[in-house]
Amino acid sequence: MNRPKAAITALGGYVPEFRLTNQVLETMIDTSDEWITTRTGIKERRILKGDGAGLSIMILEALKDLQEKSGVELHDVDAVIVSTVTPDMPVASTAAFICHKIGAKNAFGFDLQAACSGFVFAMGTGASYIESGRYKKVLVIGGDKMSSIIDYTDRTTCVIFGDGCGAVLLEPNEEGHGIQDFILRSDGIGRPYLKIKAGGSMYPPTAETVANNEHFVYQEGQAVFKFAVTNMAEIAAQIMERNNLTADTVNWLVPHQANKRIIDATAKRMGVSDEKVMLNIHRYGNTTNGTLPLCLWDYQNQLKKGDTLIFAAFGGGFTWGSLYLTWAYDAK
């Protein structure tokens, strides 16, 4: 039996209006535009403001954008997968709320947590549902309100992260375009280096965990950097090799936007030149689950039917992954 491929047929994105620039950060903590730019490539990041404004606000804006640009209906989707580390609430899932808000009465939805690799994991999951033949329309959403879990007195993390979100619709493709292959990996050796210590079942929230700032992201940057720079580059090279792709036949690298130096190392390992690398870290920082769909969002007008895209990501856990897809439509 010929299994259908799962193709992206529509996409949307959203970033909040408020810009937190390096210059403003210079007035908040002991840092400099020069340090942030040379070490990370980031110039500014977006922050979602407002009481009670959670991830779902950004998702609904991204879905509005997706519908306006593509004209597709979403009330008949079969499944909604939200990859995030900052759901609206620990329980109930943000995906269930989104199903309700888009009127998808026959859909199921769930949140998926694989840190910064979440969107690749979610795309792989969505593709498998479609390839099985059981489902026809899967909405894959990646986004985070990182500002809700960042300590703005900690200069080692607060300069890196930002808020944002993107969404894609996956549908079967008769021409064989879409997700061709993916490789996903996890290794719990990374747990000490990138985590939020409290708020889970090991250390439930108490006045003490709050006072100790244990509900914020903790990262040992150098240790994570070493694993990220090797594993993201290697897994991208691996997916190229096993699909007989070369630097010439790859049209786009869609890399997780954690650090410009990690992106450059990945492109170099793949042999891919700079103009084929999607880059927006300077504008949004690291939006965790939002980085990959926001790259597609920013570059959508340059994508052509048949283009070969390689996604690559690395994140806490550790988790990492790469995905190879061919683009299914010309820019509208």
Interaction of residue 228 with ligand UT7, rule CB under 6 A: yes
* Rounded Cα gap, residues 309 and 328, in angstroms: 11
Interaction of residue 201 with ligand UT7, rule CB under 6 A: no
Catalytic annotation present for 256: yes
- Sequence-ordered list of residues with C-beta below 8 angstroms from that of 199, at least 6 positions apart, any chain: 90, 205, 209, 214, 215
- Sequence-ordered list of residues with C-beta below 8 angstroms from that of 211, at least 6 positions apart, any chain: none
The nearer residue to ligand UT7, 32 or 246, going by C-beta atoms, is 32
Which residues, numbered 64-123, are part of the site for ligand UT7 (CB under 6 A)? 116
Q: Read off the DSSP letter of residue 286.
A: B
The nearer residue to ligand UT7, 34 or 175, going by C-beta atoms, is 34
Pick one of 9, 22, 40, 93: the residue that binds ligand UT7 (CB under 6 A): 40
**Distance of closest approach, residue 34 Cβ to ligand UT7, in angstroms:** 9
Which tokens is 43 given? 């110039």
- Sequence-ordered list of residues with C-beta below 8 angstroms from that of 155, at least 6 positions apart, any chain: 29, 30, 31
Other beta carbons less than 10 A from residue 85's beta carbon:
23
**Distance of closest approach, residue 292 Cβ to ligand UT7, in angstroms:** 12
The nearer residue to ligand UT7, 286 or 326, going by C-beta atoms, is 286
Set 173, 259, 286, 289: catalytic member: 286
Catalytic annotation present for 295: no
Interaction of residue 185 with ligand UT7, rule CB under 6 A: no
Question: With 0-12 CB in 10 A as exposed, 13-18 as middle and 19+ as buried, what is 163?
Answer: buried
- Identify which range of 104-112, 145-153, 156-164, 275-283 contacts ligand UT7 by CB under 6 A: 156-164
Task: Name which of 156, 168, 278 is nearest 216 in CA terms.
Answer: 156
Pick one of 121, 225, 297, 324: the residue that binds ligand UT7 (CB under 6 A): 225
- Identify which range of 8-16, 66-74, 131-139, 222-230 contacts ligand UT7 by CB under 6 A: 222-230
Before 318, cis peptide (omega within 30)?
yes
Interaction of residue 237 with ligand UT7, rule CB under 6 A: no
- Identify which range of 34-42, 62-70, 103-111, 319-327 contacts ligand UT7 by CB under 6 A: 34-42
* Rounded Cα gap, residues 220 and 326, in angstroms: 36
With CB atoms as reference, the residue minimizing the distance to ligand UT7 is 221
**Distance of closest approach, residue 40 Cβ to ligand UT7, in angstroms:** 5
The C-alpha torsion from 76 through 304 and 179 to 141, rounded to 10°, is -50
Binding mask 246-275 for ligand UT7 (x = CB under 6 A): ------------xx--x-------------
Q: Are 238 and 322 in contact (CB under 8 A)?
A: yes
Pick one of 86, 180, 286, 319: the residue that binds ligand UT7 (CB under 6 A): 286
The nearer residue to ligand UT7, 123 or 258, going by C-beta atoms, is 258
Q: No. of H helices and E strands in the chain?
A: 11, 13
Interaction of residue 127 with ligand UT7, rule CB under 6 A: no
**Distance of closest approach, residue 159 Cβ to ligand UT7, in angstroms:** 4
Residues in the chain: 332
Q: Are 109 and 85 in contact (CB under 8 A)?
A: no
Which tokens is 29 given? 């903590």
The nearer residue to ligand UT7, 85 or 130, going by C-beta atoms, is 85
Alpha helices of 8-89 — where are they, by DSSP H?
22-28, 33-40, 55-70
Catalytic annotation present for 282: no
Q: Are 256 and 314 in contact (CB under 8 A)?
A: yes
Residues that bind ligand UT7 (CB under 6 A): 31, 35-36, 39-40, 116, 155-156, 159-160, 221-222, 224-225, 228, 258-259, 262, 286, 314-315
* Residues identified as active-site: 116, 256, 286
